[in-house]
Structure formats: structure tokens, C-alpha cells
Chains A and B, each alone.
Chain A
Amino acid sequence: MDRRQFMTRVAALGCSAAASPLVTPVALASAPWDTRLVVVILRGAMDGLDVFRPHGDPDFARLRKTLGQDSLDLTGFYGLHPALEPLLPLWHAGEFGAANAVSTPYRDKRSHFDGQDILEAGKPGLTGAENDGWLNRMMQSISGITGQTAFAIGRDQQLILTGAAPAARWSPEAALDLSPQAQSLLELVYSNDPLFATASAQAIEIAKSVEMAAEDDAADADMMMADPMMSGVRANAEHVQLAEFAAARLRDETRIASFSINGWDTHLRQEGGLKTALGRLSDTILTLRTGLGPVWEKTAVLCLTEFGRTAHENGTRGTDHGTGGAMIYAGGALNGGHVLGEWPGLAEADLYNRRDLMPTRDVRAYPAWVMHDVLGINRTTIELSIFPGLEMGRNPGIVG
């Protein structure tokens, strides 16, 4: 294209940004389902045994010399970590629960990075070139997905939503302000580089939609903070901003959101570190619940971690990398008020390698049953393409 052709085209567009292919608003086709699915990756390996504490197991007190104090009783057998007290009303309302003694198929090397890759890839092992995640493969199996259907939120690259299906990625602090002319020229500069063209088109599109929603969100944020359940939530913390952004998108046309909460790698003085991380998780769930309003009834939040931690407390009042752990879930679309899963026991012979909680179920079975029961995805698709190698087994009843 020479300069004249280009200027003719710009003139024909009347310098209208909206008419540029770079910023064509996404088709407002409604997503093929109404339920919201939020996946939170708890990076660093959450110690499930210290969150949903099996006080009823005779070996628990022996393994945990200093940890596990001041639990809030849930079922007689299980007690809840006190930092999750703000979620107790959700437990009683059947909107918050856990699946215990779960793990991915990953065993023995206990590397965070491999563990997270396997968790997000949703496959039985690693090939070394992981390039798509299970949430993305789930989207690939459904027609009618748009660029706004799924959002990876925050600064980190999330394998779980990476893949062939379109998924947006955004951090609430990003912004973009361009003149229509500069936009058109950018489009030209990127026209021969699909990688940059796609990402920039998304950037402009999202920046516009965020800008338009900004005023509404400011009003919403004030209202949210007035909600009595939000009294302990730190309004300006990054995780709260992520959750607020997610809630705003999910109220609109977005159906899937994923983000991460870090800080679970508690080798040392777990009491303090886990309390902080659980505080973030509790803030996040409450912010989603309040931000989603009536949509919370149609929402499923799954909080997954790469593996559990050692059954024994270590020498520095923490725990080391282990195997079996817990998945936390919340949302009106799920059947809370339960700790699901078969309990393997904590006697030395019952532990995995005499060291870790024995996994009694593949953690992938839970999101699989959520997809099956809520989104209506058939079992074959799930077991063959979304979670290859998974045997879904009997329905664990995570959906009410």
C-alpha cells in the first residue's frame, strides 16, 4: 500500500476509530451458556491439611506439633483454618467447600513449576513444550466462543487459558490512549506480524471497553465496600482489584476468568505465611460474591494448587513439598458445606511414600464434573480431549 492508498482509506473511514478492524468491537453473541466459571491458581502449593484440618484423625496432632491451632469446627472431623472465618457464612449457606486428598497425576519430583504446568495443562505428564491449557481446550470444544468469553487476569502468563481458542488477558492497571490516526498506522505496521497484530487489537479493544466501564465500576466499588460482608477486605490490595475486575467482566459477557494468588510456599513459619495467603483468598472470594451480586448464584469458583505439602511439620515450623492436597470451591452454582473426597488417613502406612497425604482422587475429576453437570459437556470430550487420561469415575456431587 502506498501513501495515497492509505490516506484514501483513512479518509474513507472518516478517521473513525470504531471502523478500524483493529478496534471492531467483538461480536456480542451471547456465550453458549450462562454459568460463570472462575479458576484461581494457588501458586506455591497450598497445605490443604492446614486449611481443612482433619482433627478427627488420630494421627493429625502427632504430625502437626505447632500448626493447626484455633480451628473452627465444621463437621466434627474437619476444622477450618481461622483465617477463613469470613467464609463461614458461605459454608453454612452451602456456597463454600473443599475436596480433600486430591492431586494431579504429577508425582515425586515435587517441582512447583512442573507441578503448575501439569495442573494447568490438565494432562497426565509433561512433554516439555506445553502450549495449551485445559480451560482453553474446554473452550475449543464449545462453539460460539468470542474474544471476551474468557479472561486471564493479572500480570502472569497463564498456561491454563493458553491455546487455540481466543482468550483475553488483562491487568487492571493497563491503559491505552491513541489517536485514531495513530491506531490506523499501528494496524498497518502490525499487518504482516500476526502475533503483534492480534495482541495489539485485543489491547485496543479491551482498553476501550475498560474505559467505558470505568465510571460504572467506580460506583460499583463504592457500593461493594458498603456491603457488611466486605468489612474486613482491603479495598486497594492487588488481589481485590483483580477480583473486582473479574466480577465486572463476568457480570457482562465474560463467562470464564482465571487468575492466580501467590504466597502458598510455606517452608518456614507457616502460621504467618498461610494466614496471609488465606486472607487474600478469603478477600478474593468475598469480592467476587459481592461484585457478582445475583450472578453469584450461577457462579462456580474452583481454587486449585499444584500439589499438597508434607504430612509432617518440618524443622522450621513449616511444611515441605508433598503430594495430596485440597481443592477449595465456592459459588452459588456448587454444592458447598461439604468436604468431599475419600479420606485416606494419616497413619504412617497410609501416607504416600510415608511422607505425604495419599491422593485418593485425581483433582481433575472435580472440574470435569463441574463441566459435565453445569456446562453440559459430554464425558467423552472431557476424558479424551480436555483432561486426557482422566477416568471421571462416580459423580462426587460437587454440583448441587
Chain B
Amino acid sequence: MTFDPNLAAIRFGSGRSPLFDLPREADALLAELDTGQLYDVTGFGDTRPSMAEFQAAAKVARAARGTDALDAEEAAFREVRVAANTFYYGAVRSGLARHVGAEFGFAARLETFWADHFTVIARNVAQRHMVSTFVQDAIRPHIHGSFSQMLKAVATHPMMLIYLEQTRSVGPESIQGKRLKCGLNENLAREMLELHTLGVGGPYSQTDVTELAELLTGLTYRAKDGFYYNPRLAEPGAETVLGVTYDEADGIANILTAMDDLASHPQTAEHIARKIAAEFVADEPDPDLIDAMKEAFVATDGDLPTVYGTMLDHPAAWAPKLQKVKSPLRFITSSMRALGVTGDAVAQADGRKTRELILGPLRVMGQPWEKPNGPDGWPDESAAWVSAQGMAGRISWAMSAPRVLTDGQLPDPRVFVETALGGLASQDVIFAASAAEARPDGVGLVLASPAFQRS
């Protein structure tokens, strides 16, 4: 089992497209990591309205209730809401266009994977448009770097600090803690161990969680600075995490050292290797594949392209059997690619199409945009996506969306079987595409088929 261009496009990329050639070798996929970013959005610091501006406008509008200024302030707040919403819709389209408009989409797949590994969820409407800025700042620049760089970028990003409540955590014996009688919030420390690095089965205890929480105090955010280290929140004294003692005297440096240590822990290497392999290859990846990726991680201190390259060079990655089911996002983006939709067409879609072809269907299929249930993100297991409701969503979308996406110029279903599936089309699918009584049904049957839903 070796490199196969069709599997490479489907299993590791965002799917086949008549607009692009198939990747010819693993290096072509890896080279995509260095070609620069498609469809950027602005970062946290440059996005307007900022969270603070949104909140301020809301507060002014609330305060104006019962006064003559009410209409003017409500109109001003409405303008801010519209601007935030416009940005949010644009970010949704950019997120999909990165998959649809890429040559292969391996980089886009990795961005989506890492954004899910380090899930951030908006906690209120002022934050809703800002989740994509977290991905832009902390995930996208680091998919071809080291794991520790990404971890540090994530754990110092305002959106992560806000989402996992690090901004609310105060060392009980710190200057502020004693003055305000407030205390620790363990949320970020816990998820850093349980989800981001070691994994839930990892060798840590409640004491490690608490000590790490004490160590992380001081990491915070404020509107005028963005990320900010505030020594007045930092718990005094050394902290011991997984047997390593971090001195308080170093300030933020020891926090970053602790993150480096967690990032290079062998249990982290195992956890990350398994998770990447499970994303791309199989729910239960070949143990030998995991071992090889883990060793590459350990040997290079978490150099991610080496880990990806090890996966792509491993025979188990090229097993012909399609062992994964595409997530709803992958289903929609790979369908768009198969239909020959361009990245620019996705990026320029209007609000109504964004709602009706993307946001609504993702929700019905079980993957509402940027809204998983919690910090553990979307399910890893393929079967989780194949529910009655999820299939209703997929089948309806397959039958109705392609007409709109192609402006009524649907491909001939008999040709589309090959465009969408290459050599993976079964006799049943070839037959169904030709037997359908209408073009939309024929195209829909190809997209709804297991050969297209799986990878």
C-alpha cells in the first residue's frame, strides 16, 4: 500500500475537483503548508467591532432606555451588530473557501483539525464573530511549525483565555486575590492537560490541575492590550506540575516553559499522533502508524510537518478501504469541489446562500458552525455523524443544493460519478446516477453515496 493520488485527494485533501489536478506525491501535499494562507480574515486585534466596542455599544443602548437618546443609541448599537454579523458571515465563507479554493486542501484540513483540537466557543453574541480570529492568529500560522509553538499561541490568545475562563482566575494569595477575595478558576489548566496535551487518560492528578492553575495565574486579557500578563494576579510561590517545579521568580517565562514541557511530554506525542491519524486514516488507527508518528514527534520535539510526513509515508495511511466518514463540513466542502465551485464563488456568496446552503444544513447534519458541545470539540468517531437526522440533512442537501451552487448548470450525472469519485465509484452508484429520473437526483445520489460520504 503506497501513495495513491485519488486517495490522497479524498483522504488527506478536501476532495476531488475538476479545477485541479490530483496530487502526485506526498511532498505535494506537504508543500501546500508553505504556500501561504488562502482567504484570510483579520486577527483579534484588528477586527471591528472589537468585543469591547460591541459591549460598550450594548451598554450605552441599555442605559439610554427611557431617555430621549434611545432611538439614536439603539440605531448605533444596531450598526455595530450588523458589522459584527457581516464579519461573522464573511468568516464562515472564508472558512469554507479555504477548502474549496485550495489546490488539494491538505492545509485547510489541518487548520480545521487543529481549530477543533483547540476548540474555542463563543460564550455570547459579542464574541460570536471573534472565534475565527482565534483560528487566524493562533492556529493557521502554526500548522507547519512545532506543536509547542501552537500550544503557546493558543494558550495566550484572548479568545482561549476568555473561553476557558483564565481571565477570571486569580491567585488566592496574589495581590489582587487578597484585595478582592477572589480565587482560582481551573478550567484552562484542566483542559490543557486533559484535551490539549496529555489526553484524558494521561498521568496527571487533581493536584497537577490545581498547581498548573496556580502557575497559569497572571495570563489574562484586557481590551486595550489584548493578551496581557498581569503579575498582580499571579499566585506567589513555586508550583509543581508532573513532578517539575516552576519557580515564581521567572514570571511569564516559567509559564511558557511549563507549556513547552507539556508539549514535549511523551504522552502528548502519543495523544497527538493518535488524534491526527484518527482524523485522517481511521477511527482506530493501526498501532504501528501511531508509533511511527509518535516517534517522529518525540525525535523532532513536535515538528508537525515531520509528523504529517511520517503519516503520509506509512503504508497503513493508504489502505484502500475507506474507514472514515466525512464530517458535515467536509461533506459540504468536498461536494462543492466536486461540482467545480470556485473558492471565490464561495467567498462571495450572499447572506441568504450562506444561511441556506451552509449554516442551516450544517446544523441539521449535526455540526453547527463553531458550536460543538464543549471544549472537546466534534466527535472523532465516524459513526457519530451517521444518524437518521444527520442523513436526512445530507440527503436533502445533496438533492437540492447542487442546483443552486452551479446556477442551474448541473453536470451530467453519468459524468459526475467519475468527477466526484474517480475510481471509487461502485457499480450501484454508476447505475443509480444513470437511472435517476432527473439530473438533480442523479447528482444527489452520487453525493449521498457511501463512496462519497466516506474517506
| Complex Cα gap A320–B363 (Å) | 31
| Complex Cα gap A262–B184 (Å) | 23
Q: Is the CB of A316 within 8 A of B387?
A: no
A7 vs chain B, min Cβ distance (A): 7
Contact partner, A111, options B177, B200, B434, B449, Cβ 8 Å:
B200
The closest CB in chain A to the CB of B191 belongs to A111
Q: Which residues B376-407 have CB closer than 8 A to chain A?
A: 376, 379, 383-384, 386-393, 395-396, 399
Stretch at the interface among A49-57, A195-203, A229-237, A285-293: A195-203
Contacts of B392 in A (CB 8 A): 174-176, 203-204, 206-207
Q: How many A-B residue contacts, CB cutoff 8 Å? A: 154
Contacts of B180 in A (CB 8 A): 315
A310 vs chain B, min Cβ distance (A): 10
B136 vs chain A, min Cβ distance (A): 26
B contact residues, range: 35 or more
Q: Is the CB of B391 within 8 A of A43?
A: no
| Complex Cα gap A191–B384 (Å) | 20
Contact partner, B435, options A3, A177, A191, A199, Cβ 8 Å:
A3
| Complex Cα gap A315–B436 (Å) | 64
Stretch at the interface among A182-190, A214-222, A387-395: A182-190
User: How many chain A residues touch the partner (CB < 8 A)?
Assistant: 57
Contact partner, B386, options A155, A185, A199, A314, Cβ 8 Å:
A199
Q: Is the CB of B376 within 8 A of A189?
A: no
Q: Is the CB of A176 within 8 A of B395?
A: yes
Contact partner, A189, options B200, B374, B428, Cβ 8 Å:
B428
Q: Is the CB of A169 within 8 A of B449?
A: no
| Complex Cα gap A44–B165 (Å) | 15
Contacts of A181 in B (CB 8 A): 436-437, 441
Known contacts: A109-B206, A186-B445, A315-B170. The answer to whether A155 contacts B185 by CB under 8 A is no
Q: Does A193 contact B (CB under 8 A)?
A: yes
Q: Does B201 contact A (CB under 8 A)?
A: yes
Task: Select the residue from A6, A108, A155 with max chain B CB neighbours within 10 A.
Answer: A155
The closest CB in chain A to the CB of B325 belongs to A195
- The list of the 9 closest CB pairs from A to B, nearest first, reads A315-B183, A315-B182, A202-B388, A203-B392, A193-B450, A185-B432, A203-B388, A176-B392, A174-B392
Q: Does A369 contact B (CB under 8 A)?
A: no
Q: Which residues B198-214 have CB closer than 8 A to chain A?
A: 200-201, 205-206
Known contacts: A3-B435, A157-B384. The answer to whether A182 contacts B185 by CB under 8 A is no
Q: Is the CB of A182 within 8 A of B363?
A: no
Q: Is the CB of B384 within 8 A of A108?
A: no
The closest CB in chain A to the CB of B384 belongs to A157
Q: Is the CB of B386 within 8 A of A6?
A: no
List 11 extra interface pairs beyond A176-B392, A181-B437, A206-B392, CB under 8 A: A114-B200, A155-B363, A168-B388, A171-B364, A195-B383, A202-B388, A206-B388, A267-B185, A314-B184, A315-B184, A320-B185
Contacts of B95 in A (CB 8 A): none
Contact partner, B450, options A7, A44, A112, A189, Cβ 8 Å:
A189
| Complex Cα gap A366–B344 (Å) | 57
Q: Is the CB of A111 within 8 A of B374?
A: no
Q: Does B429 contact A (CB under 8 A)?
A: yes
